[in-house]
Amino acid sequence: MKVEGSLEFTVVEQTADRVVSEMPIHSGVKNPFGVVHAGAMLWLADVTATMLVLGPVQTAEGMKGFPLAITLNASFASISPTACCGRWRRSSSADGRSASMRTLVSGAGDRLVADVTTNHVRSQ
Q: What is the set of domains in the chain, with CATH numbers?
A: 10-56+65-122 (3.10.129.10)
| pLDDT of 110 | 83
Average pLDDT of the residues of the chain = 84
Q: Which residue has the higher pLDDT, 98 or 1?
A: 98
Q: Catalogue the long-range contacts made by 60-69 (C-beta closer than 8 Å, 24 or more residues apart).
A: 64/123, 64/124, 65/122, 65/123, 66/122, 66/123, 67/99, 67/120, 67/121, 67/122, 67/123, 68/120, 68/121, 68/122, 68/123, 69/118, 69/119, 69/120
pTM to 2 decimals? Answer: 0.85
- Residue 73 above 90 pLDDT? yes
74: pLDDT confidence band, cut at 50, 70 and 90?
very high
Highest mean pLDDT among 4-8, 37-41, 53-57, 62-66: 37-41
| pLDDT of 54 | 85
